[in-house]
Chains A and B, each alone.
Chain A
Amino acid sequence: MTASAFDEVAFFRAIAEGPVRALLIGRRGLIALGMPVMTRDYDFWIPADDAAALNTALLPFGMLPSRSPEEARKNGRYMLENDEHVDVLVARSVSTIDGTMVHFEDVWARRIYLTIGDVDVPIPCIDDYILTKRFGARPRDADDIRWLERFRSNQP
């Protein structure tokens, strides 16, 4: 049941096998976890110096970056796109809506893995996932937090 010729497992494998430390965040990660939410877009959080490595990993998929690695580092965000859309957060630390600083190194240290096909994809632990949802302040981020908290409470 694929929507296009895009090989999603190969996409995750290309990132996982490269030198980039990329955390899958956002709603694609929630779907993989088991939450019934909708999106086709991918969100990753990478350290400030890893944009070039991520771009290289995704070049075989025809995904082109919207900014150079240097510009991405300065701006804190960029996109990789073809028919697919990947939003990339490029930052050592990010502030939540209520001013808590969240550091990539800490979240990376507490990461868990989701096995997607035959690829182990790093995502934040659930507590940190909730924190990443506080980076934005959209209604859907608040809804995702509610659902993540409920999801967490239902875990064995």
Chain B
Amino acid sequence: MTRPGPPPTITSEQRAELEAWEDRALSPEEFEARVRAPWTDAERADFDNLVRWFNRRYPSPVERLAATRHLMAQIRKS
């Protein structure tokens, strides 16, 4: 068994490229197809489990907002 290496890092150019890709405008047809794509059983289970965990771990709106602010700040620092 090999030890895991350092976490992957991306350059600022790669980050900008990813953000541009995420911010691209879809055509109405592409958008609707993405909205209406059927859920797989695994996707549905993952989503439901994640929502359950998130709401159990952070029961109130203010806790959920603070937790994500904290996490985003950590991501920005890294």
Contacts and interface: CB of A to CB of B under 8 A. Distances in A.
Interface in A11-33: 28, 31-33
A154 B51 contact: yes
A138 B22 contact: yes
Give the bracket for the number of chain B residues in contact with chain A: 35 or more
Interface residues of A, number: 38
B73 interface: yes
B35 to A, nearest CB: 5
Contact of A8 (B24, B37, B47, B62): B62
A34 interface: yes
B65 to A, nearest CB: 6
Interface in B38-56: 39, 44, 47-48, 50-51, 53-55
B31 A116 contact: no
Interface of B: 22-28, 31-32, 34-35, 37, 39, 44, 47-48, 50-51, 53-55, 60-73
